[in-house]
Amino acid sequence: MQARMMNGDQGRKMQSKPWSLKILHFFLIFLVFGLGLCIVSMNMVRYFGARNMFHQQVFGYRHCVEETRSLESWIRPPCNVMHDMNDTELFWRATFAPRIKEYPYKRVTKVAFLFLTRGPLPLAPLWERFFKGNQGLYSIYIHSLPGYRANYSRSSVFYSRQIRSQEVEWGKMSMCDAERRLLANAMLDLSNEHFVLLSEACIPLRNFTIVYRYISKSRYSFMGSYDDRGPYGRGRYDKNMEPEVSLKQWRKGAQWFEVNRELAIRIVEDNRYYPKFKQFCKPACYVDEHYFPTMLTIETPHLIANRTLTYTDWSRGGPHPATFGRNDISKELIERIMGRRMCFYNHRLVYLCQLFARKFAPSALQPLLRLSSEMFGY
């Protein structure tokens, strides 16, 4: 009986052993099959991916299939202002312009506010009040130093509005490069029709409705441009600027401008005047005061108002304007800045001449916030 029990145990072991081998065999087959399928898939992706890229580059396959399925895909702005294009690629892309001026959709024009800064925007809370409730009528772009990383909250209008930037030196061509970079990024949104250059020290003097209407209804762009016959105007001219720019064509103007889309394209696409200014306008010739005013006066004098929209106080003398801090802010100062000066607007004399002002120190924020509702209307 004991022998029979031993024989039974050996039989059960012999029966279980083939099943173990079968499971192992099945697992090996599955492993080999899966590995083979993975290799085939990788090669298919590589082959068809390269083929698809070839079609995209040579035949515009992706362009035809994905991007032109609807008009919306053409007119919607980029979802992220941070991109991988270098300046050459960006400027080329930004200067695309329709030849048919009548848009086939209801286009609500926007004003692009371009902030040229070193780092943070200390007066951001004041601008937040200014923009509040006007979504869809404005865009914001910020050019700061490359190493700066903003920490605006998701609810802020400045959240994720920094563009790809480069180093900027005061008075040198890198300043104009940054301004062209801001314009080009804003031009990627076809709804942006007007472009206002500002600094971190600028404030709006009127509420958004007045600013938007004033800019969008103007027949002219606001670029300061005048013939200064003194040492800080014509005295900075270099005869090497000829033949592109003569002494009589040399102009000076404020750095802070407002231009429409037509002039923005001219600024970004320029390769006629740019090399001359880069080579022959160096400190004590400050290129940001001469390049755009001179170029646009030569090319499109009938489209600029020859004045700026930004108030600046130069009464204290020196190379930099007055800066207003906490102790300077009062109703009297604001009234003086917003004073009843007269200027031409669409060929009519008006009292409203300037919409922005500078320079305001970070310490001026709190007193400006206290006065904003009463003095500025926002």
Domains of the chain are 81-376 (3.90.550)
Give 59: exposed, middle or buried? Use CB within 10 Å, 0-12, 13-18, 19+: exposed
What kind and span of H or E run contains 141?
Answer: strand 138-143
State pTM to two decimals: 0.82
User: Left (φ > 0), alpha (ψ -120 to 50) or beta: where does 142 sit?
Assistant: beta
What per-residue confidence (pLDDT) applies to 38? Answer: 58
Query: 139 and 109 in contact (C-beta within 8 Å)?
Result: no
Q: Report the half-sphere exposure of 288 (CA within 13 A, side-chain side).
A: 19
Q: Tell me how crowded residue 295 is: count the other CB atoms within 10 A of its CB.
A: 25
What per-residue confidence (pLDDT) applies to 30? Answer: 59
Question: Which residues, given as ranges, of the chain have pLDDT below 70?
Answer: 1-68
What per-residue confidence (pLDDT) applies to 72? Answer: 82
Query: 91 and 173 in contact (C-beta within 8 Å)?
Result: no
Give the pair of three-digit tokens for residue 256. 């802070």
Distance CA 181, CA 193 (A): 16
What per-residue confidence (pLDDT) applies to 315? Answer: 85
Separation in Å, CA 104 to CA 74, 75, 98, 364: 12, 11, 11, 46
What per-residue confidence (pLDDT) applies to 316? Answer: 80
Helix (H, G, I), strand (E, B) or coil at 199: strand
Give the pair of three-digit tokens for residue 231. 């040492």
Backbone angles phi, psi at 237, to 5 degrees: -70, 145
Instruction: Kindly tell me the sign of the dihedral angle through the C-alpha atoms of 92, 304, 244, 278.
Output: negative
Distance CA 183, CA 219 (A): 20
Give the pair of three-digit tokens for residue 18. 């083939």
Separation in Å, CA 136 to CA 111, 326, 334: 10, 33, 29
Backbone angles phi, psi at 252, to 5 degrees: -130, 150
